[in-house]
């Protein structure tokens, strides 16, 4: 069974925490250490960013990380090589997140094959048109048991959401807003209503909420309305500040996510 499906099948009432970081930032050779440290510290699954020169959906923090990674010399080929080196030590699902252009240059089938060889369970491709996913990418990915995770936003229609739900597997990435990535202090009532509306649809796939999660308030809102939360910009910032020391970055992240009041949700 694909590790993503296995993780969600076994979750019960547990709420998951997924972290994103950009491969090759802040250091070219740090990818494996960051992944293994996150696994050791209890992160449920990891999104590894493929750096790209024109990341349209990303805010300044992740754009900056991608720029630094490219300057450091990170490529998709190097990333797969780094993942291969730690494959036997990684037990949690790894998901590659990147834009379509580098994947097309690498080749769709070659990409899927390399993912499986490197222990990757899924991919998120924000600019992949759904028709191309269904007609071109999905048949290839299915042969390699690779999950292609699709995104929904507050502007996605109910009809479209149900269509995505029926034609994907693994989980649905529920973007908290239509804006670019970046930390937020809280989710306003409009976002909360969006969360409740999707909850009431009783979708087949579990959902993970991402974009803007950086503290206890946003984490609690996400985890109470989905299977868990995805944190990107906040962790990327902390990892940069810690000069690639993932343990230090995680210490600071867990502190930021912890509830100041006792007897509440803790990480």
Q: What is the pLDDT of residues 7-66, one digit of tens each?
A: 999 988 899 999 999 999 999 999 999 999 999 999 999 999 999 988 666 789 999 999
Q: Judge contact between 193 and 182, C-beta under 8 A.
A: no
Q: What is d(CA 236, CA 238) in angstroms, rounded to the nearest whole number?
A: 6
Measured in residues, the chain has a length of 267
Choosing from 13, 29, 33, 58, which is the catalytic residue?
A: 58
Choosing from 13, 44, 47, 155, which is the catalytic residue?
A: 47
Q: Residue 13: its pLDDT value, please? A: 86
Is 58 annotated as catalytic? yes
Is 255 annotated as catalytic? no
CA angle 109–114–118, rounded 5-degree value = 155
Q: Residue 142: its pLDDT value, please? A: 97
Q: Residue 189: its pLDDT value, please? A: 84
Q: What is d(CA 231, CA 226) in angstroms, rounded to the nearest whole number?
A: 14
Q: What is d(CA 197, CA 73) in angstroms, rounded to the nearest whole number?
A: 43
Find, among 210, 226, 218, 231, the residue nearest to 259 by Cα: 218
10-residue mean pLDDT series, the chain (267 residues)? 95 93 97 98 98 81 95 98 98 97 97 98 96 96 98 95 96 80 62 91 96 91 94 96 98 89 42
Q: What is d(CA 229, CA 220) in angstroms, rounded to the nearest whole number?
A: 9
Max Cα distance, the chain (Å)? 51
């Amino acid at each position: 069974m694909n590790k993503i499906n296995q993780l969600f099948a076994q979750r019960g009432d547990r709420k998951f925490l997924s972290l994103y970081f950009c491969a090759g930032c802040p250091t070219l050779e740090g990818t494996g250490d960051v992944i293994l440290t996150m696994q050791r510290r209890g992160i449920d699954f990891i999104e590894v960013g493929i750096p790209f020169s024109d990341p349209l959906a990303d805010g300044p923090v992740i754009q900056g990380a991608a720029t630094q990674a490219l300057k450091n010399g990170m490529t998709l080929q190097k990333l797969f090589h780094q993942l291969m080196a730690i494959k036997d030590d990684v037990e949690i699902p790894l998901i590659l997140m990147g834009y379509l252009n580098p994947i097309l240059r690498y080749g769709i089938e070659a990409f899927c094959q390399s993912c499986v060889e490197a222990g990757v369970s899924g991919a998120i491709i924000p600019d992949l048109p759904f028709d191309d996913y269904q007609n071109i990418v999905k048949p290839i990915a299915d042969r390699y048991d690779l999950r292609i995770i699709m995104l929904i936003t507050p502007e996605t229609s109910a009809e479209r959401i149900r269509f995505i739900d029926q034609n994907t597997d693994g989980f649905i990435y529920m973007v908290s807003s239509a804006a670019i990535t970046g930390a937020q202090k809280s989710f306003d009532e409009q976002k909360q209503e969006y969360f409740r509306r999707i909850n009431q649809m009783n979708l087949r796939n579990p959902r993970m909420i991402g974009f803007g999660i950086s503290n206890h308030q946003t984490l609690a809102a996400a985890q109470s309305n989905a299977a868990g939360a995805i944190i990107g910009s906040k962790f990327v910032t902390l990892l940069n500040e810690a000069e690639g020391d993932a343990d230090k970055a995680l210490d600071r992240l867990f502190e930021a996510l912890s509830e100041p009041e006792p007897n509440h949700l803790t990480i």
